[in-house]
Amino acid sequence: MTVEKRPLSGAVALVAGGTRGGGRGIAVQLGAAGATVYVTGRSSGAASSDIGRPETIEDTAEKVTAAGGTGIPVRTDHSRPDEVRALVDRIAREQDGRLDVLVNSVWGGDPLTDWEHPLWEQDLGTGLRLLRQAVETHVITSRFALPLMVARRRGLVVEVTDGNTARYRGSFFYDLAKSAVIRLAFAQAAELKPHGVAAVAITPGFLRSEAVLDHFGVTEDNWRDAIAKDPHFAYSETPAYVGRAVAALAADPGVMAKTGRALATWGLYKEYGFTDVDGTQPDFAAHWAEALVDEYGPLGDPL
């Protein structure tokens, strides 16, 4: 990407939960657009999180820099207000009070999700822990980061979720967490609009995250081998796709027109024209309407 094609040169972003998956994809693509990106999470070279996966914030930061931006890893537990306050204080100090993009992508709830049982048969402590990890962390991060944006009367908050409609997502606590994150975007948008700051929720389609690739026993190089196990995998997308969607939003001078909305890669590619890394434009909603609606019902109305 040439300098002329780096619309976020000089911009500062914080990607909370940027270790892997969609968060990593967003961080790297913000870097490719020229931004300085603070990459945070609990998985670092110094100490791993309880997820126990090999990806680290340092890995992501290196990819941000390699893409053309500046990656800065800061190990942060976003459930701890003191650590988040210290993180934001550091950004303010190092960037002269500037923060243009806040991405709330903290998740880590896969090991906590019970897909087999209804609410009344689930472990309550595990479910509440999932909510604290997937929702409270976003609230804490916004609480300390938003004043930087409000002070400059500009910026974009992105809440990363799963799905952009009211369709039930298959597990009580998982559904509650992902729906709540959309509502966080809506509520922040209402309070931030008078200050010129936008807030949106965004969802990828069938995401080929590192964990999903591992689940299918493939890599990004041979991911199509897994289509035999799941034909719907043919319509999946890389984390870069949602990353390019967020970068396009961040570079859009008219993004305030979208504030308060729940957006999706399958809608934004039509408007901004970005592609996935292989040049395709996956549209999981279109695939759903063609192949999955009879089994699972329509995606439903936007929240």
Q: State yes or no: is 235 an active-site residue.
A: no
CB contact at 8 A, 151 and 97: yes
* Extended beta strands in 52-186, E state: 70-75, 101-104, 155-160
The residue from 38, 174, 241, 269 that is catalytic is: 174
Within a 10 A sphere around the Cβ of 220, how many other Cβ atoms? 12
Within a 10 A sphere around the Cβ of 275, how many other Cβ atoms? 13
For residue 101, CA distances in Å to 8, 15, 146, 158, 169 come to 10, 8, 10, 8, 28
Phi, psi angles (nearest 5°) of residue 207: -85, 130
Q: Which residues are catalytic?
A: 174
